Chain A
Amino acid sequence: MEITKQIVAEHGITEEEYGKILNILKRTPTITELGIFSVMWSEHCSYKSSRSTLKMLPTKSERVLVGPGENAGVVDIGDGIWIAFKIESHNHPSAVEPYQGAATGVGGILRDIFTMGARPIAILDSLRFGKMDSSQSRRLLSGVVSGIAGYGNCMGIPTIGGEICFDAVYEKNPLVNVMSLGIISDNKIVKACATGEGNPIIYVGSATGRDGIKGASFASRELTESSYEDRPAVQVGDPFTEKLLLEACLELAKQDYLIGMQDMGAAGLTCSTCEMASKSNVGIEIDLSLVPKRAQGMTPYELMLSESQERMLVCVKKGYEKEVEKIFAKWDLHSVVIGRVTSDGIFRVMDGQKIVSEIPAKALTDDAPIYQHPEKEPEYLKEAQAAFSLQPSAFSLNEILLKLLASPVIANKAWIYEQYDHMVRTNTILCPGKGDAGVVYIKNAEYGKGNTEGTEKAIAMSTDCNGRYCYLDPYMGGMIAVAEAARNVVCVGAKPLALTNCLNFGSPMDPEVMWQFRRVVEGISKACQALDVPVTGGNVSFYNETEAGPIYPTPVIGMVGVIEDASNVTDMGFKDEGDVIILLGESRDEIGGSEYLKIIHGMIAGKPPLLDIEREQKIQQAVLEAFEAKIVKSAHDCAEGGLSVTLAECCLQGKIGAKCSCQSAINMSPISLLFGESQSRIVVSVSSANLEQLRQIIVQAGIPYEVLGVVNGDELIINELIQLPLKEMETAYQWQG
């Protein structure tokens, strides 16, 4: 086939990039080679527009064993227990085919985890859709939720948390970010490498079909009306096969003859092979005629670009091919030697005797283009951040609180998380909806490496981002995303350890988007440094825009924290009559960017709340100290909806009322006091006998605080402003999807 300008353009390759390809090959590429370059140099695989900015992020700490660049980051949580975790997006596929898009998003992130030799023990989902009053959004939401449930439940891995937001900007471009975390036993990390000339490259798992061809390129452009025609670019998931693959791969991971393993995710066979070769500074030769196929007459081009799911590439020491076959045969899976490691650094693809592609492996990875696209401060910012005046609301304060409790972002999400198996593996000690983070514990009986005191560790996970804050102030928004995610794991008693991020943005060709991107990353970096939480990897998803424009900058943070003694974990619910309620932190007169403005006034305006990251750190530290002293009976941070919503949620979760009087903020408007979203605030309850001890911790930390009141009765009372029976709040809080 002749490679015309039109064919090159159809592959999303620019003229300049094509020139670079000609220069590397010193000849015209074959159509298969062009396809390979197009996916490897796609934004999705190469991070060509984000790589230079991402360098800003701190990625190291003494706990980090594997940072960005592998399938998942690995962190040592002490006492010889290592965990692997990562978050990834599956936005574009979910926009055109919500069930399969979300399902294969789960499948993909799980493979990332078990490729490292880790057994996945938890899943979290961070989802964003348009307004719930549109049938399009409801269709997408129900498809995505069923897809996550369909895949995760079948795999037997609990979905323990996540978040869900709604805003018109996500109407046609929903965000589906999935995070998973796994445990590595025996301190054996598997990497995506292939070494030793002549060692076999083995294809394991499902056969290759025509699904998901060029998915990586599809994910690297904007969504348009005609994106629906790209549905063949969406893969079809088979969780049953993945479950078998998981068990077989973990069995293989224990073997000493295993050299490396790489999953076939984006860009399938192409990406897995050349990444393995490039990372190990070797060449790899594969023969496509040996690849198990599920469709007839597949061309080399299709085989190389297919994104059929549930496939892996494995490199083992020569002579152990039969051993691998035995492991995979037990699970009724393919295991076929399709190639070998070479020493010439060339990624060579054969189809029987015929060479169909011959490219230096490094050219596809290290030599991928890097861009520094122009940036420009967005036009909308000044106007959006400007001071605004508010018409007094026609609703009473009680009514406003009920409306906020009923808004989908805040309301009870039971109808969603009850569709996910969140208890399988019997480790989940905080189910979704109970606390600010999901928590699983690590059984000493299973890992045999408990703490010296004999207590059992637990891991807390939370995903967070307020896209509205990031839209109104990308730097502050990025910083708040990290701070809030950390605060959430602190509220269940965990020390924040490391994070993974999923940076969802519009088109990098838009200077305003690139400006948002840099500012957000700067904000994240700042917060990471201040809180001493490194980034161990993640994912950038650009081109989240439709004819209506880009989405809000949405840097989703997946935070991981560790609890030394699992029995110390607590949820957000108030516990016993007479317990004292304390607010750590300070309420300011801040209403900009709030849920209140959006729900009650339909406004996305003002500056988001200010974050003093040093104070944030002190408050988190103080709460952790209180946890260590075993005096915290409940903890919950103030987020969307402000202090009143936080107190209401503590009451609803605990099925008990509270009598509060907030004096420190008495001079500000009741609206800001009740619904303002000032940062760095945590509501804690302790028994009255322990109040003094908590007070000492707080005073020592030098942070503002206020004793708000007591747990009491069956209604929530705040000053003379709010008085609502639990039953009424409960009714508003229920959301039947």
Chain B
Amino acid sequence: MKWAVIVFPGSNCDHDCYYILKDVLGQDVCYKWHKDTSLSGIDCVVLPGGFSYGDYLRCGAIARFSPIMNEVIKFANNGGIVIGICNGFQILLEAGLLPGAMLRNESLRFICKDVYLSIENRETIFTRCVKTERVLRMPIAHAEGNYFVDSETLSNLQKNNQIVFRYCRPERDERDERDVVSFTYTDNPNGSIDSIAGICNKNGNVLGMMPHPERAAEQILGGVDGKLIFESVIRQ
């Protein structure tokens, strides 16, 4: 597979995504500068986290107008695989590739910590490598991750199985737990509606998620659950 990591001015997880794809997963990957205007030959596009344009105006609101975004929209509409992580998710919302908007975290603070995710849809191309009954642990790091949609859109998301990840709390909170079965939706770090941590579009080829899978893809960093997301895509 050929991957492209888009670099906006102010992206700062571009390098981390590139490293995981290339050095940990052995993928063919390139950077695409936001002023580039072609995605030819690319199979999967990653919009990385960071502070594109300093998050000035509104997270993702300016990056959405970068020249490359016209291509990303075309690419997505043609069925190309797109993953937006954190700021990348925010850009996808601003670009209209995914529904909804981000509010500031309920605490009004930036939050950086590990969270647990339940997989709400195991059929997507982003989650099919996740064994059933697993919850995933990976970090969040954002100030505006409080996902919001109106009730009609929310019920559409639910109906169409577009909710991919929800924040959750495993019943047993032990060290190195691997295969937790039961959990509740009581740990919502940012106030997201319906505890939503990640969604996909109706066609299932565009994923937006606030947690950082690229930060949980090496044992030395404390976990490898994030790797499953990329591996799911690779396995197609």
Binding site for B on A (CB under 8 A): 149, 153-156, 238-241, 243-244, 331-332, 414, 417-426, 428-429, 441, 443, 445-446, 566-567, 655
Contacts and interface: CB of A to CB of B under 8 A. Distances in A.
A238 B215 contact: no
Given A424-B16, A426-B221, A240 B110 contact: no
A205 B175 CA distance: 47
Contact of B9 (A244, A425, A429, A655): A244
A428 B15 CA distance: 15
Contact of A655 (B16, B51, B175): B175
Interface stretch (B53-61, B94-102, B180-188, B199-207): B53-61
B13 A419 contact: no
- Size category of the B interface is 20 to 34
A156 B112 contact: no
Nearest to A246: B12
B214 interface: yes
A243 B111 CA distance: 21
Given A418-B113, A421-B110, 4 more contacts: A153-B110, A153-B141, A154-B55, A429-B221
A243 B51 contact: yes
Contacts of A239: 51, 54
Given A566-B220, A655-B175, A240 B141 contact: no
B109 A332 contact: no
Contacts of B56: 240
Nearest to A446: B19
Contacts of B215: 423-424, 426
A429 B219 CA distance: 10
Contacts of A429: 220-222
B48 to A, nearest CB: 10
B220 A441 contact: yes
Contacts of A240: 9-10, 51, 53-56
Interface in B1-53: 9-10, 12-13, 15-16, 19-20, 23, 49-51, 53
Contacts of A419: 109-112
Nearest to A333: B9
Interface string B216-227: 011011100000
A424 B214 contact: no
A239 B214 CA distance: 23
Contacts of B9: 240, 243-244, 331-332
B208 interface: no
A418 B218 contact: no
Nearest to A330: B33
Contacts of A149: 109-110
Given A156-B12, A156-B13, A332-B9, A238 B109 contact: no
Nearest to B139: A423
A426 B218 contact: yes
Contacts of A443: 19, 23
Contact of A155 (B12, B109, B143, B222): B12
5 contacts: A149-B110, A153-B51, A153-B110, A332-B9, A424-B13
Contacts of A418: 109, 111-113
Nearest to A332: B9
A341 to B, nearest CB: 32
Contact of B112 (A331, A421, A426): A421
Contacts of A243: 9-10, 12, 51, 54
User: Most chain-B CB neighbours within 10 Å: which of A240, A421, A423, A426?
Assistant: A426
B231 to A, nearest CB: 17
Contacts of B111: 418-419
A238 B55 CA distance: 11
A426 B110 contact: no
Nearest to A238: B54
Interface in B103-148: 109-113, 139, 141, 143
A156 B49 CA distance: 9
Contacts of A238: 54
